């Protein structure tokens, strides 16, 4: 158990990403430069930042999140010039992807510069880098004067935070500042691409789809969750953890729409008979068709971006409402849909029923 003495006062600063005075970020930027921890909005999810070049500061991130230290962090930059001090070389295809999609929800893995501490990369010879597309994030990094290592700003194992309230509920009392910049736009973490392999490998799907990558650099290899087994060493250490999980048990139900509705309603009946509080994650098209205790809707099937933006919030709401078991519809794996299904599969620990 954590002792009272290790708790600190967390200061929350409100800022509108489209209209803020950068002076408001100065104390938080100073804290980062001094090796302390600041949570901030990005376009994907909130990040928990520390000076990426300061090993002690970075260790503080792992402690605050309860994150296993073998899971490396993404280094966030605000200016392409910062790359020099972080990587030892920039592959040609990486250069082209940066031009096309930075700032944006794309993380590139490249050979690391020896100055980056092992704490940041978990001792790997590579480093993950991204330039976020959020004006608060960019300005905070610029003012701090250092590259910022930042995982998602949640307690390890719980769904990533898509608004400041999620961060406050997980990390208040453990970090120095939280910048409240409202809800994040994309809602799922960035696409992670390993640029040191040939063809480049998508280790984690996100806002930049494989189709978008291939338009710029040709074929990429999309690593499937089923390729990552517990006894092999995964290319991206984070892939082996049961991330993004609600506390409730979760099961995906896949198949033709009416079959899915019927199967889920049957599962709801059976679980209710066992006195379990049931939840259903339903698309807008089907939400009225379920008779579970709690039905939450992340968005319409015609608007997968809205689904992506709301999924983590729904998972947190199921837990807040004390749901014991969640049944979820599946979504087509096109565009952002690949990332949606990747996170749902992880939240469900791979449990899927096909009907």
Binding site for ligand TXA (CB under 6 A): 42, 44-45, 47, 71-74, 105, 107, 109, 121, 124, 126-128, 132, 150-152, 189-190, 192, 203-204, 235-239
Q: Which residue, 35 or 157, has its beta carbon nearer to ligand TXA? A: 157
What are the E-state strand segments in the chain? 11-14, 38-40, 47-51, 74-76, 106-111, 126-130, 148-149, 177-180, 191-194, 201-204, 221-222, 249-254, 278-281, 294-296, 325-329, 352-354
Applying CB under 5 A, does 158 fall inside the site for Mg ion?
A: no
Q: Give the residue at shortest CB distance from ligand TXA.
A: 238
Cβ nearer to Mg ion, comparing 108 with 325: 108
Backbone angles phi, psi at 325, to 5 degrees: -140, 135
Q: Choose among ligand TXA, Mg ion, none what residue 245 binds, the Cβ cut-off being 5 to 8 Å by kind.
A: none
Q: How far is the CB of 323 from ligand TXA (least distance, A)?
A: 24
Q: How many residues bind Mg ion (CB under 5 A)?
A: 1
Instruction: Tell me the two tokens of residue 21.
Output: 């005075």
Residue number, 121 or 152, with CB nearest to Mg ion = 152
Q: Which of 218, 217, 223 minimizes the C-alpha distance to 204?
A: 223
- Closest CB to Mg ion among residues 82, 152: 152
Q: What dihedral do alpha carbons 249, 255, 260, 264 form, nearest 10°?
A: -20
Give the separation between CA 67 and CA 47, rounded to whole angstroms. 14
The residue with tokens 């970090």 is 175
Of 123 and 145, CB closest to ligand TXA: 123
Q: Give least dist CB 160 to Mg ion, A.
A: 5
Whichever of 124 and 143 has its CB closer to ligand TXA, that residue is 124
Number of helical (H) and strand (E) elements in the chain, helices listed first = 10, 16
CB of 312: closest distance to ligand TXA in angstroms? Answer: 11
- Tell me how far apart the alpha carbons of residues 104 and 100 are, in angstroms, rounded to a whole number: 9
CB of 65 to ligand TXA, least distance (A): 9
Q: Are 292 and 278 in contact (CB under 8 A)?
A: yes
- Please tell me whether residue 329 adopts helix, strand or coil conformation: strand
Nearest approach, Cβ of 42 to Mg ion (angstroms)? Answer: 12
**Strand partners of residue 39:** 48, 178
283 near Mg ion, judged by CB under 5 A: no
- The correct pick among 126, 134, 144, 152 for binding Mg ion (CB under 5 A) is 152
End-to-end CA separation in angstroms for the chain:
44
Q: Which does 341 bind (CB under 5 to 8 A by kind): Mg ion, ligand TXA, none?
A: none
C-beta of residue 350 within 8 angstroms of C-beta of residue 225: yes
Nearest distance in Å: CB 151, Mg ion = 5
Tokens of 302: 């015609």
Closest approach, Cβ 191 to ligand TXA, in A, equals 8
Query: Please, which residue, 187 or 304, has the CB nearer to ligand TXA?
Result: 187
Tokens of 117: 């501490």
Least Cβ distance, residue 241 to Mg ion (angstroms): 9
Report if residue 190 touches Mg ion, rule: CB under 5 A.
no
Residue 343 beta carbon to ligand TXA: minimum distance, rounded to whole angstroms? 11
Handedness of CA 179, 242, 126, 185 (dihedral sign): negative
- Residue 210 partner contact from Mg ion, ligand TXA, none using kind-dependent CB cut-offs of 5 to 8 Å: none
Which CB, 72 or 299, lies closer to Mg ion?
A: 72
Which residues have a Cβ under 8 Å from the Cβ of 34 and sit 6 or more positions away?
none
Q: Which is nearer to ligand TXA, 178 or 261 (CB)?
A: 178
Contact residues toward Mg ion (CB under 5 A) are 152
């Amino acid at each position: 158990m954590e002792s009272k003495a290790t708790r600190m006062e967390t200061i929350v600063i409100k800022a509108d990403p489209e209209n803020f005075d950068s002076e408001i970020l100065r104390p938080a930027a100073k804290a980062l430069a001094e090796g302390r921890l600041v949570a901030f909005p990005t376009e994907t999810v909130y990040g928990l930042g520390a000076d990426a070049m300061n090993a002690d500061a970075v260790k503080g991130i792992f402690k605050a999140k309860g994150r296993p230290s073998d899971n490396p962090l993404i280094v966030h930059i605000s200016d392409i010039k910062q790359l020099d001090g972080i990587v030892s070389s920039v592959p040609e295809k990486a250069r082209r992807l940066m031009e096309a999609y930075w700032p944006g929800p794309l993380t590139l893995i490249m050979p690391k510069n020896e100055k980056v501490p092992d704490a940041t990369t978990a001792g790997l010879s590579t480093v993950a880098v991204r330039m976020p597309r959020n004006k608060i994030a960019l300005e905070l990094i610029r003012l701090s004067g250092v590259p910022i290592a930042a995982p998602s700003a949640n307690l390890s194992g719980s769904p990533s935070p898509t608004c400041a309230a999620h961060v406050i509920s997980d990390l208040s009392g453990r970090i120095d500042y939280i910048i409240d910049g409202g809800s994040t736009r994309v809602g799922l973490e960035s696409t992670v691409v390993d640029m040191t392999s040939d063809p480049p490998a998508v280790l984690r799907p996100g806002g930049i789809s494989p189709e978008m990558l291939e338009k710029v650099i040709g074929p990429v290899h999309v690593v499937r969750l089923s390729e990552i087994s517990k006894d092999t060493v995964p290319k991206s250490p984070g892939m082996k953890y049961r991330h993004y999980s609600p506390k409730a048990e979760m099961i995906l139900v896949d198949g033709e729409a009416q079959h899915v509705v019927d199967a889920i309603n049957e599962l709801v009946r059976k679980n209710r008979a066992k006195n379990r509080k049931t939840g259903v994650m339903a698309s807008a098209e089907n939400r009225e068709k379920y008779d579970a205790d709690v039905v939450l809707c992340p968005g319409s099937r015609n608007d997968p971006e809205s689904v992506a933006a709301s999924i983590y919030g729904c998972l947190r709401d199921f837990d807040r409402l004390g749901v014991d078991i969640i049944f979820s519809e599946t979504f087509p794996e096109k565009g952002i849909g690949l990332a949606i299904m990747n996170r749902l599969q992880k939240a469900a620990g791979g449990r899927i029923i096909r009907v």
